[in-house]
Amino acid sequence: MKKALFTTLGFLFLGLGILGIFLPVLPTTPFLLLTAILFAKSSDRWYQKLITHPTLGSYILNFREHRSIPLKVKITTISLLWITIGCSALFAVSQLWLRILLLGIALGVSVHVASFKTEK
């Protein structure tokens, strides 16, 4: 029962992590790391598939071992973040306080992403 719950939660957080790749406000790394932990505790098969995945696997292993993010990923993440939130703040939101909040969130996330070491 516990393994089934962890596997189900692993897939839920995997989905959120993948969504986070495309939605800059949703974090990718914490969800993928949580997925790896849940799969490691519940299913060696899914854990191995996750960490050997051509894109996600290296991302997870590099972050776990070095706590670093590749420069290309940093640039892409911060760029998409500002494009998405910038467009939302300019075109989708009319209240000034909400625009300021969105830009503050973008700034906070940018600082957080930039604070990690850059993978060499």
Instruction: Quote the longest CA-to-CA distance of the chain.
Output: 50
Identify the pLDDT of residue 63: 80
**pLDDT > 80? residue 24:** no
43-63 confidence digits (pLDDT tens): 999 999 999 999 888 878 888
**pLDDT > 90? residue 74:** no
The letter for the amino acid at 19 is L
Q: CA–CA separation, 77 vs 106, rounded Å?
A: 11
